[in-house]
Chains A and B, each alone.
Chain A
């Protein structure tokens, strides 16, 4: 199943949400609800509104509704009973921090139909944002590279804004890919500066999903992510890697160019394939360990796997973790 949707969809950003994916994720309601408060709260139930003071909308009175919630002023004007609905207190801020660095643009292949890590991350962010929006969470988005590139504050009405921001990030990423490799050598970007800045932006407790390929040492990543934990944010780290980054299947002797720094290295892949896989495995294992030690959820996503499969695997992992805790 392809995770790539038709770009010609009318609603901007709507193409990022594969209906089939959503339908399959919908079957995971019972699992999702118990994973994290506010993330997929009440997925199996009809969305309900809470009794907070944040007015959401009016609804026609139905027998059985609490008559205390009838808007009598509106009744006076319309001679009809309407009930006031408010946003629930349990709703939280949900924000996706998406890495849009050059390395995230890697992996797109017209021949194999594979998507880049950036596209995959954007789809993933869109799905999660949509779920959260359905849960009446306030959704927001931050795209980061060396600094914060784009910032969408968390709001219950920002689903479409988030989707548009994701769409824009994708478009900019594709346009930038065409000119990659023509620049000089630069330092590799790190997550610490933008995440440090985000810690100053988030004033409410939030659920933050960091989607990145995490080309940094595990300790540096933990240090960067810990910037966000100060206000009790619940953080999940989604680690995206292309299958070629995991398997290193290259056959020919090649000049490898670092997309981030522009550094070149002559490599005979067959000589180092085994060692490379070992290094990657150690890196992933180390990342998982140090992040989990900090009680930060971590999941590795292979961008060749279907998106719903990745989400399912993640939610299943959250369930297991919840039971362990």
Chain B
């Protein structure tokens, strides 16, 4: 029974009032001086007792009437769906959720979980249906709903642990969907897990449909003690001879007692160094290894510690690759002004995250080799190269490279049509604003990746820059304006062409038309243009199990494989991703098949179709370090949250009846009120009779 206005139940305290008054009256009698007690002595005691009993009945009637009044005001209602579901008998729809996250590998948890699952399967009757769902980061149904125990047990036999972390919410959601679609009267979800606290972010909704019961089965024994490598940081250092990296591993002791462990660094399959450290209870330490030379190609690295009860987090994989700069080709006219590209080159040469490699050519001097692995090409007031070079550049743009066009004094209208069709805007005449102290950049699109770093307050002031001359741009249909001058004329326009981007900058990149190059925002602006238009993505040294690899976002992985050269995958961009267990997945860096989920812990290899095994790009995948935290979650807390979620869902889902409506339909308060009035009527009759009898 639920109450819509439970605050009224406080009125039950009023039940104490008649009792208290009765007690007070019993204790504090009035003193009456009476002439003689002679007659009172003659009254038999038995009749007094009978009167008392009648009055007690009267008191009970009044208390019951008061109780019904209070209950009526509290507006009770019954959750009928719940009662007709879980409470009734009949065939069951059971979903067995088995946690296969890597923390289940701790001790004998996995075997216990399978045993529990078999017990549940053994209890399935012929009329029941059961589904086994294994879950870690994501749930996956191992069987269809079935009453066939053999199929269910076979699914349990073939189950293996995953390298992913625990997430309860998606699993419960899938189980809810399965039982929600069932027409069987009883619906149960059995959750077999070690109940890690890290597996449930409390903001996640755990809504169970009405009538569904969640039965937790906890297979965690005592609190686990675990040591884990939870991260690796590589810092690059450059000495006189060559570039080196310093590997620093972060090792955590998640147990209640201190422990001494050995941490070993392996690089390229060779153990380079071992360190012994002592970790206090529930603490973490950094283990800094001796700097090592960066290998010439991407190399596998592992930091491993002494094995314990949970082996999955005792190794941490990572990759080390030579520094790969963003390659930028600046093409300026042969008759360029002095230092026309100076500001551009200088700005790009600053900083190393990422590092920009800038080459300057004229349209006439550009060779095919100059275009290899160029992420960004800038026409700095230069006309596009013609012939095969020009065609090659256009192909590069279509396959992901970026192009920045600074028209300057160029007569863009006379460019070949294939180039003009690439541009996001038609370049108009020069606007001279020298007479009115120059234009300012009046508006920028902070949502655009180029300008997003300037969105925070005091992160860059474009209004201080003066633009004295610029080209009037007329935007094409599918292009976007990401910056405007104060007169509304576009300052920067962009457009996607294939997988690449083309940007037109209306003024100059030197100080001839604008003083922007001497403003503080110039360097970050140029860097942002280089990163975003050049499609730069930070090279990831490792992924967590369960992460999705998007090849289009990681040119550092694909460009060595699909570029020119003997190891290239070819123009098709077809690649093979081989998991640590040897499972091969065909991917495409250019097509739609560019996503892969990295489910296994260890080192994947991404290679071209023609690339020999072992010569590809290694991709390190580690278990989620959060899963190493074996802190226990009270299963009842999860159950309570799921039950609370039911009520929440009831108010949202239009197909379910909200409590107010349920209460309104049931009108239990009305019956209670009638009952109370009936009792009061009986009480009135009784008390009148008693009153008449006594008077």
**Interface residues, chain A, CB within 8 Å of chain B?**
102-104, 106, 117, 180-181, 188, 213, 215, 242, 245, 250, 252-261, 263, 265-268, 270-276, 279-280, 283
Contact = CB atoms under 8 A, between A and B. Distances in A.
Nearest to B33: A257
- The 7 closest A-B CB pairs, nearest first, are A103-B35, A215-B36, A271-B51, A254-B30, A275-B43, A106-B35, A254-B32
8 contacts: A106-B33, A106-B34, A106-B35, A253-B29, A265-B41, A271-B51, A271-B52, A283-B39
Interface residues of B, number: 26
A272 B29 contact: no
Contact of A266 (B29, B52, B690): B29
Contacts of B51: 268, 270-272
Contact of A273 (B25, B33, B44, B694): B694
Contacts of A258: 34-37
B30 A265 contact: no
Contacts of B693: 274
Nearest to A268: B48
Contacts of B690: 270
Given A271-B48, A274-B694, A275-B47, A255 B42 contact: no
B201 interface: no
Given A273-B695, A275-B47, A276-B43, A252 B37 contact: no
A260 B694 CA distance: 27
B25 A257 contact: no
Contacts of B37: 256, 258, 261, 263, 265
Given A180-B33, A252-B25, 4 more contacts: A215-B38, A259-B35, A268-B52, A271-B47
B31 A188 contact: no
Given A273-B695, A275-B47, A254 B31 contact: yes
Nearest to B690: A270
A257 B40 contact: no
Nearest to B39: A279
Which label, helix, strand, loop or mixed, suits the secondary structure of the A interface?
A: mixed
B157 interface: no
Given A270-B694, A272-B47, A252 B30 contact: yes
B435 interface: no
A255 B31 contact: yes
B48 A215 contact: no
B26 interface: yes
Nearest to A101: B35
Contacts, number: 95
A168 B690 CA distance: 46
B35 A260 contact: yes
Given A254-B31, A257-B31, A274-B693, A188 B36 contact: yes
A279 B43 contact: yes
B30 A255 contact: yes
A270 B39 CA distance: 15
Interface string B592-630: 000000000000000000000000000000000000000
A265 B40 contact: yes
Contacts of A275: 43-44, 47
A103 B33 CA distance: 9
Contacts of A261: 36-37
Contacts of A265: 37, 40-41
Nearest to A257: B33
A11 to B, nearest CB: 31
A73 B379 CA distance: 178
A242 B29 contact: no
B206 to A, nearest CB: 59
B35 A215 contact: yes
A263 B693 CA distance: 28
A238 to B, nearest CB: 16
Interface string B647-682: 000000000000000000000000000000000000
A101 B41 CA distance: 20
B52 to A, nearest CB: 7
A271 B51 CA distance: 6
A101 B103 CA distance: 99
B32 A255 contact: yes
B42 A256 contact: no
A267 B34 CA distance: 12
A265 B51 CA distance: 18
Contacts of B42: 279
A136 B431 CA distance: 150
A302 to B, nearest CB: 14
B31 to A, nearest CB: 5
Nearest to A245: B35
Nearest to B35: A103
B40 A272 contact: yes
Interface in B90-143: none
Contacts of B36: 103, 188, 213, 215, 258-261
A267 B25 CA distance: 12
